[in-house]
Structure 1
């Protein structure tokens, strides 16, 4: 195992960031190369815990000669966000200097332009340097996993339709309850990787990418950072890598994936009609029917008719909900995965900012 730091120059004098990178050299050139990162949104830590335990497994595999394909691991992919605290609260989703999301605005380039990402890199801002370094490392691999988490949520993933249903092995290995099939229309990290693969040659756009995978894994919620969960997920991820031929492990076939599969157009984004205190009536993991009461918003406390009911627009599975108990008008409350498209108009790309 090799451990090195990528140095990211800060935007003010005397400031720099260090990005630790763990690398394992494979023994078989034909085996798939793997890139895994966590905490791109720096306050989403279940993935960092998972990779801590996965690295234990990989070090043991390396000592046993069981690393077949090159593996690169970045357990804390965002040192810039990890240093941002406002009144004691870690602010890891958006860069406070530019107000940009750390998981948006990745360069959309053809695979053949990979080297251009880090040419004359110091001319870019620190945040753009970080994004370019991460994307440059990922585009050297065939299997790319970006580990995130939701607010309160089930285990699920965003997977480009170009990788489905081949990616069902990952969903099964991590015991996911749902898969959201994305449209590849955003500039998020995993979609920037897929974009480069789809546009490997000038003038082409592939719609299927066998043997490759670029995915955002949502590891439950922000508070689900426990050793037993992290070890379970690390074991599942190791089994996935073994199934893809990246590492050697005992032959234990994965079960079939039995969770919900829903295109993004079938995700009901439940939003608050008015500001107020949130009283949830349904929890994550519950199946709901059309018209079921999901939440009550106490918009005018103490007033007659001061409550507003929020009901399910159609049948589905509650995959996420917010942990806050105060809503602003039109703020997100839940995501529900459904069998039918939502009646709400969705712009191409991600579900949230």
Structure 2
């Protein structure tokens, strides 16, 4: 393994950030190549734990001559967000200066030529230069996995519909419980920016059996421990073996994915009609019927007449929920995967800000 450090100058003198890039050189120029990154939102660490335990597996494979395709790993993809703290709270989702989600507004390139991306010392804000640097690292690869997590959640994937059904093998390898299929988010998340050049290619030239671009949601923020980190690392390793990036005769992947593949239009984003204390009736993984109770919001403690109980707008599976138990009016509370499009008009773009 070779380690490279990319230093990006800060926006004012005396400040800079560093991207640590881990590279494994493949032995076969015709093998698929892979890029994996984690912590684009700074404090989302389950993916970072997975990469921490994946690297030794790859080092062993490298020592035994079993790395066939080039592999690039960026375990801490967003040093800006990692360093954003206020009042003892980590705030890594939005860039504090512009309030822009770090996983939005990536450049959408018409092809894989990255020469037009700004350089690390361009006359642009640091966040924009960081996004360009990450794309420059990722786009030369056919497999691109952006490792995230939700709040309280099952393990699931976001996958563009054109990459299905070939990418269900990743869901099997990682033990994902669901796939959210999208066609256009309009927000230019990292996944969309990496999928975009592929989608501009003629359909008959894409070779989707070699390609994989996704956002992996490794459960919830607090699911960071030895057992899940090692299990997730093994899943990533199994997928790389299955796709021919690593050779390992001891790893097989033969089980079909049996979870739901849900279009974003079918995801019910249950939001708080009033602020208050949240009491959940369900947990991620529950199957509910239309009309079942999902959550009660206590708006006047001590006066049950002020309780607001929300019910399931359709039958489906509870995928995620908020960990905070005190919310504002309009806050997202949970995601329910339905069989039909939601009756609630969804704004263009990603499910959440």
TM-score (norm 2): 0.96
Structure 1 CA distance, aligned partners of 2:253 and 2:96? 45
* Aligned twin of 1:327: 327
1:135-154 → structure 2 map (5 Å cutoff): 135-154=135-154
With over 3 angstroms needed to count, the CA separation of the structure-2 counterparts of 1:74 and 1:9, relative to structure 1, is same
* Aligned twin of 1:217: 216
* Aligned twin of 2:166: 166
Deviations 1:204-234 (A, max 9, x none): 6889651211100000000000110010111
With over 3 angstroms needed to count, the CA separation of the structure-2 counterparts of 1:206 and 1:97, relative to structure 1, is farther
For residue 345 of structure 1, report the CA deviation from its aligned partner: 1.1
Structure 2 CA distance, aligned partners of 1:335 and 1:89? 25
- Three-state SS of the structure 1 residue aligned to 2:176 is coil
Contact 1:293–1:312 (CA under 8 A) maintained in structure 2: yes
Aligned positions, number: 350
Structure 2 CA distance, aligned partners of 1:304 and 1:19? 52
1:35-184 → structure 2 map (5 Å cutoff): 35-119=35-119, 121-184=121-184
For residue 112 of structure 1, report the CA deviation from its aligned partner: 4.3
* Aligned twin of 1:302: 302
TM-score (norm 1): 0.96
Deviations 1:278-333 (A, max 9, x none): 00011111000000000100012223511011100000000000000011111100
* Aligned twin of 2:230: 231
Contact 1:162–1:207 (CA under 8 A) maintained in structure 2: no
Structure 1 CA distance, aligned partners of 2:120 and 2:130? 13
Contact 2:66–2:247 (CA under 8 A) maintained in structure 1: yes
* Aligned twin of 2:285: 285
- Three-state SS of the structure 1 residue aligned to 2:68 is coil
* Aligned twin of 1:193: 194
- Three-state SS of the structure 1 residue aligned to 2:345 is coil
For residue 336 of structure 1, report the CA deviation from its aligned partner: 0.6
Contact 2:298–2:308 (CA under 8 A) maintained in structure 1: yes
> Which segments of 5 or more consecutive residues in structure 2 lack a partner in the other structure?
none
Q: Which moved more, 1:335-344 or 1:251-260?
A: 251-260
Contact 1:183–1:348 (CA under 8 A) maintained in structure 2: no
Structure 2 CA distance, aligned partners of 1:334 and 1:71? 35
Structure 2 CA distance, aligned partners of 1:295 and 1:251? 42
RMSD after superposition: 1.5
> Which segments of 5 or more consecutive residues in structure 1 lack a partner in the other structure?
none
Structure 1 CA distance, aligned partners of 2:120 and 2:247? 39
For residue 349 of structure 1, report the CA deviation from its aligned partner: 2.2
Structure 1 CA distance, aligned partners of 2:7 and 2:275? 44
